[in-house]
């Protein structure tokens, strides 16, 4: 027999879509199942793994369509192979840091040759990352009444994950936490 105790004070995820793993196991077999579940958490429906193949396909499309100057007829700078490779690297890292339920970003080639990755919860809650030449990352976010931020950084070639930890956190801030349930 199992029981569940709902504890709104305990939070494990900021994503409202993360419903299936919002409890804490009490028994040893339950903990083992949860450990395995945690190993596979990014392969859940509604998780980042659902969008990673799609964003890779989008980047291939940008490579084919925007790799030459004037790709949209307005004097645009070509999106370089370097920018596409770095954008994929950024997406893979964000994918690895994303919690289940993180929606896919919009991926847009920009006229200056950068690629914009953008997450929008609603008109007052959004976050965008522009990836450019030389591993330069520009970012900006609007978080409703909590305010806004913007900045830039060089993506560290030796430790890119550390360069993107806070950016992944800003993306996670777009999605509210859910209560943790305790089950026997």
Q: Are 2 and 184 in contact (CB under 8 A)?
A: yes
What is the distance between the alpha carbons of residues 17 and 34, in angstroms, rounded to a whole number?
18
What is the distance between the alpha carbons of residues 90 and 141, in angstroms, rounded to a whole number?
17
Domain that holds residue 85: 4-183
Which pLDDT belongs to residue 45?
Answer: 47
- Select from 66, 100, 103, 102 the least CA-distant residue to 81: 66
Q: pLDDT per residue over 34-70, tens digit each? A: 666 555 544 444 455 577 788 889 999 999 999 999 9
What is the distance between the alpha carbons of residues 19 and 59, in angstroms, rounded to a whole number?
30
- How large is the average pLDDT for residues 158-181? 79
Number of domains present in the structure of the chain: 1
- How large is the average pLDDT for residues 139-153? 93
Which pLDDT belongs to residue 180?
Answer: 47
For residue 134, pLDDT over 90 is answered with yes
- Percentage of the chain modeled with pLDDT above 90: 48
What pTM was computed for the model? 0.70
What is the distance between the alpha carbons of residues 41 and 99, in angstroms, rounded to a whole number?
8
Q: Which residues pair with 5 in a beta bridge?
A: 182
> How would you list the strands of the sheet with 178-183, edge to edge?
4-13, 178-183, 23-25
- How large is the average pLDDT for residues 163-174? 90
Greater model confidence, 169 or 32 = 169
């Amino acid at each position: 027999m199992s029981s569940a105790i709902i504890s709104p004070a305990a939070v494990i995820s900021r994503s409202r879509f993360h419903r299936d793993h919002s409890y804490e196991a009490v028994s040893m077999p339950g903990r083992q199942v949860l450990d395995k579940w945690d190993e596979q958490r990014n392969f859940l429906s509604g998780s980042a793994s659902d969008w990673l193949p799609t964003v890779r396909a989008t980047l291939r499309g940008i490579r084919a369509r925007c790799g030459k100057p004037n790709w949209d007829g307005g004097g645009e700078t070509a999106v370089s192979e370097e920018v596409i490779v770095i954008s994929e690297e950024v997406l893979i890292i964000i994918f690895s840091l994303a919690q289940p339920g993180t929606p896919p970003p919009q991926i847009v080639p920009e006229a200056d040759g950068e690629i914009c990755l953008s997450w929008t919860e609603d008109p007052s809650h959004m976050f965008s990352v522009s990836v450019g030449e030389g591993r330069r990352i520009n970012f900006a976010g609007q978080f409703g009444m909590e305010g806004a931020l913007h900045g830039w950084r060089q993506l560290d070639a030796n430790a890119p994950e550390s360069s993107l930890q806070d950016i992944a956190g800003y993306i996670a801030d777009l999605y509210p936490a859910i209560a943790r349930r305790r089950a026997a």
